[in-house]
Amino acid sequence: MVKLAEWRGKEIFRKYGIALPEGHVARSAEEATSLVSQGKVPLPCVIKAQVLAGGRGKGGAVRFASNAEEVRAAAAAILGLEFKGEKVKEILLEGKVAIDRELYVSLTLDRTLRLPILLTSAKGGVEIESVPDEQILRQPIHPFAGLAQYEKRRAAAFLGLTGGPAKSLGPLLDSLWAAFNGEDAELVEINPLAVVGDRVIALDAKVVIEDDATFRHPEYAEVRDDRTPLEEVAREKEIAFVQLDGNIGVIANGAGLTMATLDVLMQFGGRPGVFLDLGGTDDPAKVAEAFLLMAKAKPTAVFLNIFGGVTRCDTVAKGLVNAMEKLPAQDRFPLVARIRGNNENEGVEILRAAGITSIPDLKASAEATVRAAAARAAAAQGRTA
Amino acid sequence: MTVLIDADTRIVVQGITGHQGTVHTRQMKLFGSKVVAGVTPGKGGTTVEETPVYDSVQEAVDRKQANASCIFVPAPFAKDALIEAVDAGIRLSVVVTEHIPFHDMLVMYHYARARGARIIGPNCPGIAAPGAPSKVGIIPNVVFRPGRIGVISRSGTLTYEIVNGIREIGLGQSTCIGLGGDPVVGTSFVDGLELFEKDPDTDLVVMVGEIGGTAEEDAADYIRHHFTKPVVAYIAGRAAPPDKRMGHAGAIITRGRGTAQSKQTALEGAGVRVGRFPYEMPQLVADVLKEKARR
C-alpha cells in the first residue's frame, strides 16, 4: 500500500485534468512566505500539513492566513507539529476558495462484487465512515464498460447538483476513473469535493497506490514512507517483515500460519514484536538472511514455526544453523523451534545436532516461547536493578 | 465424487520451465495428477519431467486434450497467460502466481466469467482431491488422506497445518480448495460452498479464513440461507493490529472493517462452530461429525 501525501495526490489529479485550487508545497516558513510574496499562492490562503493521518482540521494541522506575516507564523507552527505520531516536514499552501457546498466522491475496490465502486455523498468534509449508508450512493463500475453517462447523471442527481456544477461533475468523474486505472490505485478519494461558483473542484486528495502494481510505476518506489527501515531492507530481500509493538520475534512461512502463530502467542500472554514470513523458499541462504534480519530487531525471544511445503524443513534448519553460527554472542536470542511437514525428520535432526529441540505441538511450543521471553526479560531486569 | 477436478483432469502447466513450475509438475505427478503438457513460449519441443513442452496453450489442448491449467508465470505476464488459457478453451485455471495487481485480476476474473471459465487464486496453493487422485497446484502431498471433509481456505501453509491435523486424527478430505490471499479471487468462500453443497461425497466443510475484506461474512450469510451441511471455521489474525498488511495483500483491517471478531460473530450467527486456534480444529471437526451422526 503506497499512501500518497495530499500534494502528490493532487499532482496526479492535475495530470488527469481534475480541477484544483492553485497550490504549492513548502518545507520551511521562509519558503512559504516567499511563495506568497512572489504571488505564486494567492491571499488569503490555506496552509495544510502534509501528513497521511486524517482529522487535520480539528488537530490544528490546517490553518488560514491573510497576509505574509500570518503565513510565516502558521507555516512555522504547523512545521513544528508532530501530528498523530508523524512529524510534519511539508506543508501545502493553496489560495482560499469560497465554498458553497462540500461533497464526497471516491473510487475503490468492492472485494465482494469483484468490481470497482464509485461512492458519492452530499456529506463531504467529514470521514466517510461516519456517514450513514443511506446517504452514500454506491455504483459498481464494470471494468470492461467503464463509467457510463447515466452513472454520472445519477451521481449528480444524488448530490443535488444542477446547472454548471452538475455539468462539471461528469468530466471530473471521467478523470477520476482514468486516474484510478492509469495509476493502479486502490483508492482515489476527493473529500471534500467543493462546489465553488459554477463548478466542482477537489479541495483534498487521497490516493493509495497498489503495492503489487509498482512494477508498472517505478516513480512510486521512492515515495513510500509507511515502512520502518528494517521493513524496507526485508522488502528488498523479498521477505515479508512487519514490526509490531511487542518483544517476541516470529518466523513462520505463509501469511495465514504467521497470523495464527501470533494469535496463539497472544493467548499465552506473549507480545509479538516482529513477524517475518519466509514465504515459499528452498534456499538456505535466504533463511539465514531472514534470521540475521530478525536479530537486528533485537527480539527478547524468537519462535520459529514452519509447516514445510514448498519450503522444506531441512532447508530452514540449515539456514537457521548457519545464521546462528554467524551471530555474535551479544546478538543471540533464545529460540523455540517447531518444524513440521515436508522433510520434517531431516530438519529436526539438523537442529538436534546444533543443540536445538523442535517441539512438534503448536500449543506447547508457543507456551515455551512465552516462558523463554519472560525469563530473559526478568534476567535483564535483574542486571539493571 | 469431488468438486472441480477428478481423475480425468488433464493439466497443462503454464510456466513449466521455471523453477517452481518444474518442481511442482513433479509433485503433481507423484500425487497422481495427469499433467499432460507444459507451456513456455519459445521452449516448445523440449520436455520437463517427461512432460512435453509447447509454445502455446492451444497446442497443449489440441495435442494432449488439456482441460485445466496451472499458472506459475511471473505476475507481469499472468493476465496474458490466463487469457490465453481461456481462449484455448481451458475451463479451470489455478493461478499460483503472487503479487498480481488487482486491476489485472479484475480483468482476468471478468474475462474468464464471460467465457464460462473458472479461476482459483491468484496467490493460492491450488486444489486437491486425494481420492481421485488429482491435484492442481502446490499443496504438499503428505498432508492428505481420502475422505469426506471439504476444505476451503484463504491461506496456504495454515491449510496444510489444519488439514494435516485432521489427517492425524484419522479423517480425510474429499476436495481441498485454496482460494488465495488476494483482495480479488476467482473463487470465493461462497463459490466453494455452492460446490460442496452439491457434492454427495462431502459431509462437512472446514473454512479457514483470515482478517480483511468481508468474504467470511458473505459466507455466513450464504450458509444461513442456503447451506445444509455442517461447517467448522477458523479465522487467523485475532492478534493483528489495524492498518498493517499481514503478509497477504488481502489480509488487512482497513477503516475498522474485516476484523477476526466480526467474522467469528457472523459465522457463529449462521450456526458455524468457530475454533479459536488451529490445534482446536481436528477435535471440533470430530465433535461436529459425531453430533451429525446422532441426528
Q: What is the pLDDT of residues A95-149, one digit of tens each?
A: 999 999 999 999 999 999 999 999 999 999 988 888 999 999 999 999 999 999 9
One-letter amino acid identity for A234?
A: A
List the grid coordinates of B286. 470430530
DSSP conformational letter for B65: -
pLDDT in tens, B43-64: 999 999 999 999 999 999 999 9
The mean pLDDT of A19-40, rounded to a whole number, is 95
A242 contacts in B (CB within 8 Å)? Answer: 244-247
The residues, any chain, with a CB within 8 Å of residue A384's CB and separated by 6 or more, are none
Could you tell me which of B255, B237, B254, B238 has the C-alpha nearest to residue B246?
B237
B97 contacts in A (CB within 8 Å)? Answer: none
Domain A229-380, classified CATH 3.40.50.261, yes or no: yes
Between these two residues, B252 and A244, which has the higher pLDDT value?
A244
Question: Are B239 and A252 within 8 A, CB to CB?
Answer: no
The mean pLDDT of B278-287, rounded to a whole number, is 96
The mean pLDDT of A64-90, rounded to a whole number, is 93
Annotation: CATH topology of A101-219: D-amino Acid Aminotransferase; Chain A, domain 1 (3.30.470)
pLDDT in tens, B90-116: 999 999 999 999 999 999 999 999 999
Number of CB atoms found within 10 A of residue A300's CB:
21
Question: Are A272 and B251 within 8 A, CB to CB?
Answer: no
CB B180 within 8 A of CB B123: yes
CB B39 within 8 A of CB B53: yes
Question: Are B101 and A186 within 8 A, CB to CB?
Answer: no
> Which residue in the block uniquely carries the three cell numbers 488560514?
A64
Interface membership of B278 toward A (CB under 8 Å): yes
Strand A240-243 relative to strand A206-209: parallel, antiparallel, unpaired? unpaired
Is the pLDDT reported for residue A287 higher than 90? no
Among chain B residues, CA nearest to A277: B247
The residues, any chain, with a CB within 8 Å of residue A87's CB and separated by 6 or more, are A81
Question: Are B142 and A342 within 8 A, CB to CB?
Answer: yes
Distance CA A9, CA A117 (A): 19
Query: ∠B9-B14-B18 over CA atoms, to 5°?
Result: 125
Q: Which residues pair with B254 in a beta bridge?
A: B257
- Give residue B221's pLDDT band: very low, low, confident or very high (50, 70, 90): very high
Phi/psi region, residue A161 (left: phi>0; alpha: psi -120 to 50; beta: rest), is beta
Q: Which residues pair with A172 in a beta bridge?
A: none
Distance CA B61, CA B57 (A): 6
Strand B173-178 relative to strand B146-153: parallel, antiparallel, unpaired? parallel
- Give residue B15's pLDDT band: very low, low, confident or very high (50, 70, 90): very high
- Candidates A2, A141, A257, A314: best to mutate against B (most CBs of B within 10 A) is A257
Question: Are B158 and A115 within 8 A, CB to CB?
Answer: no
Q: Which residues pair with A95 in a beta bridge?
A: A45
Tell me whether residue A189 is one of the annotated catalytic residues: yes
**pLDDT for position A385:** 57
* CATH number corresponding to A22-95: 3.30.1490.20
Crossing angle of helices A362-384 and A255-267, in 10° steps, is 60
Lowest mean pLDDT among A125-129, B30-34, B158-162: A125-129
> Which residue in the block uniquely carries the three cell numbers 514465504?
A279
Is the pLDDT reported for residue A241 higher than 90? no
CB B7 within 8 A of CB B134: yes
User: For chain A, what is the mean pLDDT?
Assistant: 92
User: For chain B, what is the mean pLDDT?
Assistant: 95
Among chain A residues, CA nearest to B140: A309
The three-state secondary structure class of B152 is strand
The mean pLDDT of B266-270, rounded to a whole number, is 97
Question: Are B247 and A259 within 8 A, CB to CB?
Answer: yes
- Give residue B10's pLDDT band: very low, low, confident or very high (50, 70, 90): very high
**pLDDT for position A383:** 73
Distance CA A332, CA A205 (A): 46
The mean pLDDT of A279-285, rounded to a whole number, is 81
**pLDDT for position A384:** 65
Element (H, E) at B13: strand B10-14
DSSP conformational letter for B240: P
Query: ∠A152-A156-A161 over CA atoms, to 5°?
Result: 155
User: pTM value?
Assistant: 0.93
- Give residue A225's pLDDT band: very low, low, confident or very high (50, 70, 90): low
Active site residues of B: 248
Q: What is the 3-state secondary structure (H, E, C) of chain A?
A: CEEECHHHHHHHHHHCCCCCCCEEEECCHHHHHHHHHCCCCCCCEEEEECCCCCCCCCCCCEEEECCHHHHHHHHHHHHCCEECCEECCCEEEEECCCCCEEEEEEEEEECCCCEEEEEEECCCCCCHHHCCHHHEEEEECCCCCCCCHHHHHHHHHHCCCCHHHHHHHHHHHHHHHHHHHHCCEEEEEEEEEEEECCEEEECCCEEEECHHHCCCCHHHCCCCCCCCHHHHHHHHCCCEEEECCCCEEEEECCHHHHHHHHHHHHHCCCCEEEEEECCCCCCHHHHHHHHHHHHHCCCCEEEEEEEECCCCHHHHHHHHHHHHHHCCHHHCCCEEEEEEECCHHHHHHHHHHCCCCECCCHHHHHHHHHHHHHHHHHHHHHHHC
Half-sphere exposure (Cβ direction) of B152: Cα atoms closer than 13 Å: 25
**pLDDT for position B1:** 61
**pLDDT for position A17:** 98
List the grid coordinates of B148. 469426506
pLDDT in tens, A301-314: 999 999 988 788 99
Q: Percentage of residues in chain B with pLDDT exceeding 90?
A: 89
Is the pLDDT reported for residue A21 higher than 70? yes
Distance CA A382, CA A385 (A): 5
B178 contacts in A (CB within 8 Å)? Answer: none
pLDDT in tens, A346-370: 999 999 999 998 999 999 999 999 9
Size of interface A-B (CB pairs under 8 A): 172
One-letter amino acid identity for A161?
A: L
**pLDDT for position A226:** 60
Lowest mean pLDDT among A158-162, A215-219, B253-257: B253-257
B250 contacts in A (CB within 8 Å)? Answer: 111
CA torsion, points B236, B238, B244, B248, in degrees to nearest 10?
Answer: 0
Distance CA B240, CA A129 (A): 21
Determine the distance in angstroms separating the CA of A273 from the nearest CA of chain B, rounded to an integer: 11
- Give residue A58's pLDDT band: very low, low, confident or very high (50, 70, 90): confident
Interface membership of B214 toward A (CB under 8 Å): yes
Q: Select the residue of B103, B184, B240 nearest A259 (Cβ to Cβ).
A: B240
Is the pLDDT reported for residue A42 higher than 60? yes
A231 class by beta-carbon count within 10 Å (0-12 exposed, 13-18 middle, 19+ buried): middle
Choose the catalytic residue: A90, A151, A183, A189. A189
- Give residue A331's pLDDT band: very low, low, confident or very high (50, 70, 90): confident
Domains and CATH numbers, chain B: 10-120 (3.40.50.720), 139-294 (3.40.50.261)
**pLDDT for position B294:** 87
* Domain range list for chain A: 22-95, 101-219, 229-380
DSSP conformational letter for B164: H
DSSP conformational letter for B101: -
Question: Are A256 and B107 within 8 A, CB to CB?
Answer: no
**pLDDT for position B270:** 97
Question: Are A309 and B156 within 8 A, CB to CB?
Answer: yes
